[in-house]
Amino acid sequence: MNYQSLANPSVLTQPVYEPGKPIEYVARELGLDAEEIIKLASNENPFGPSPLAVAAAKRALDRGQLYPDGGCFELRQKLAAVHGLALDQFVVGNGSNEIIELLGHVFLRPGDEVVMAAPAFVVYKLVTLLFGAKAIEVPLRDWRHDLPRMAAAITPRTKLVCVCSPNNPTGTANTEAELLAFAQSLPNHVVGVFDEAYADFLEAPPDLRPVIRAGRNVICLRTFSKIHGLASLRVGFGYAAAELCALLNRVRQPFNVNAIAQAAALAALDDREFTAKCATGNRAGLEQLMAGCRELHLETVPSVANFLLIKVGDGARVFDALQRRGIIVRPVKSYDLPEWIRVTVGTREQNRRLLENLPAALR
Ligand SMILES: *Cc1c(COP(=O)(O)O)cnc(C)c1O
């Protein structure tokens, strides 16, 4: 049987996402004690999950025999109250990554174009290619999205434009004024996708709700994976015009977000104390890492997210050397940054361990 000849052509050329290595995997591979390993590779929350979310998730398990609310009614109701939009302006996904895929289902066909920055979060490109569409990549300028060039890259075939601010893997952000002007300038045949996964770490997150209210084709994406510490539960959401949310809801699985995740996310929205602690801890950690790198004469890209790009020379080699020392970071060769590693901001102690081990790993 030749399965390849039966497969969709776009599947055969589809690149594979490379996730950060799980702790247990590295422990097995290198014969290390899993307890001793720290993972600073996937921008996970070093302060753990929101405690209120954990308590709610445990309670929700007792009703595990029931299908979840496929419409995520309660969660959307709370999101609507928190964000000052209507209930039907939210779509909830199995992580915000699912919503990127749903955008592909709704809008992309072979031959369509998606404009994105390079390097930017790789999932935009993966989804684009999966639907046989073409990724139009616009290089960053001074490490930030070059929005005028991205606007100039739009053609009649463009369906989506993806903007990630703060951007992964660089940690850099565009200003609210830049983002608003860009969103307002988009032609009517293009949907602007604004990925706000790291907006919670900003002191003043940009507010794109005015352009949504004004009826522009804009969707903003948020996640519970980062500041709420719920990456394992897979829940994220988008907010946009009700009409766009209705289209996205049409193409998702009926029960795409499980009940444990819904309960946890709902409670996490109430846990302001936790998110405030994480934002403050993250800022202190960024300072600590940037100061440590300065002392080691290592170049960094000034970050406003919960991770930091560090120029180490041979990123793959330093990744490997750190891993042998029980510290998992992310090589970013696949983002065309072979001289850099991306390090998630950890706890004070984790950051200290990284900085302490860097000189030896560099040698
Ligand atoms: C981590 C991250 C997300 C979140 O993805 P989930 O599927 O919600 O876990 C989204 N966008 C970017 C750029 C990210 O780095």
CATH 1.20.80.30 fits 51-268, yes or no: no
Which residue shows structure tokens 């070059």?
A: 146
CA distance 120 to 138: 10
CATH code, residues 3-48+272-362: 3.90.1150.10
Q: How far is the CA of 154 from the centre of ligand 1 (A)?
A: 25
Return the best residue to mutate from 168, 202, 224, 235 for the ligand 1 pocket (most ligand atoms within 8 A of CB): 168
In the beta sheet, which residues pair with residue 164?
A: 195
Q: Does residue 164's CB lie within 6 angstroms of at least one atom of ligand 1?
A: yes
Element (H, E) at 182: helix 176-185
Q: Do domains 3-48+272-362 and 51-268 have the same CATH topology?
A: no
- Widest distance between CA atoms in the chain: 59
How far away, in angstroms, is 197 Cα from ligand 1 center?
A: 6
pLDDT (tens digit, 0 to 9) for every residue of the chain, 363 residues total? 789 999 988 899 999 888 888 899 999 999 999 999 999 999 999 999 999 999 999 999 999 999 999 999 999 999 999 999 999 999 999 999 999 999 999 999 999 999 999 999 999 999 999 999 999 999 999 999 999 999 999 999 999 999 999 999 999 999 999 999 999 999 999 999 999 999 999 999 999 999 999 999 999 999 999 999 999 999 999 999 999 999 999 999 999 999 999 999 999 999 999 999 999 999 999 999 999 999 999 999 999 999 999 999 999 999 999 999 999 999 999 999 999 999 999 999 999 999 999 999 999
3-state secondary structure of 96: helix
CA atoms within 13 A on the CB side of 142: 4
pLDDT at 77: 98
Take residue 137 and report the two structure tokens written for it.
């990549």
Structure-derived torsion over alpha carbons of residues 257, 259, 263, 265, reported in degrees to the nearest 10: -20
Cβ of 97 less than 6 Å from ligand 1: yes
So what's the pLDDT on residue 49?
98
For residue 21, give Cα distances in angstroms to 26, 315, 319, 328.
Answer: 7, 15, 11, 7
Whether 72 and 265 have beta carbons less than 8 Å apart is answered as no
Residue nearest to atom 14 of ligand 1 (CA): 197
Q: Can you read off the two tokens belonging to residue 46?
A: 């070093």
Could you tell me if the CB of 95 is within 6 A of ligand 1? Answer: yes
Ligand 1 centroid – CA 37 distance (Å): 23
Helices H / strands E in the chain, number of each: 15, 12
Please state whether the predicted TM-score (pTM) of the whole model is above 0.85: yes
225 touches ligand 1 (CB under 6 Å): yes
pLDDT at 20: 80
Stretch (H or E) spanning 114 = strand 113-118
DSSP letter for 141, please.
B
Residue 298 bridge partners (DSSP): none
228, 229, 210: which is closest to 78 by C-alpha? 228
Q: How far apart are CA 327 and CA 310, in angstroms?
A: 15
Task: Please report, for the chain, the start and end positions of each structural domain, with discontinuous segments joined by +.
Answer: 3-48+272-362, 51-268
Enumerate residues 6+ apart whose C-beta is below 8 A from 76: 87, 90, 92, 237
96 lines ligand 1 (CB under 6 A): yes
Kind and range of the H or E run holding 340: strand 340-344
